Amino acid sequence: MNTSTISSDANEFAGKRVLVTGGTKGAGKAIADRFQQGGATVIITARLRPDGKDGQPLYPGGCLDR
């Protein structure tokens, strides 16, 4: 998919909270990234952390990753 054709407004989801299941890899991660770019507070769930991210928040500054 060519994401350069998808418009992105930095405030499109401002003030919204989004829960994305399976948000550490693949399509779930792409969805979580898009909501975060749009200004949403993103909370993700997954069975496993992505490789190389042990102990690191996935979305610094807006992550409830504890």
Dist CA 24 CA 45 (whole Å): 8
Q: Cβ-count burial of 32 within 10 angstroms (0-12 exposed, 13-18 middle, 19+ buried)?
A: buried
What is the per-residue pLDDT for 47?
80
Tell me the one-letter amino acid at 53: K
pLDDT, tens digit (0-9, with 9 covering 90-100), for 2-57: 555 566 788 999 999 999 998 888 999 899 999 999 999 998 888 877 766 665 66
And the tokens for 27? 């399509």
pLDDT, tens digit (0-9, with 9 covering 90-100), for 49-58: 776 666 566 6
Alpha helices (H) along 1-66: 26-37
Q: Considering the entire predicted model, what is its pTM? A: 0.67
What is the per-residue pLDDT for 25?
86
What is the per-residue pLDDT for 8?
73
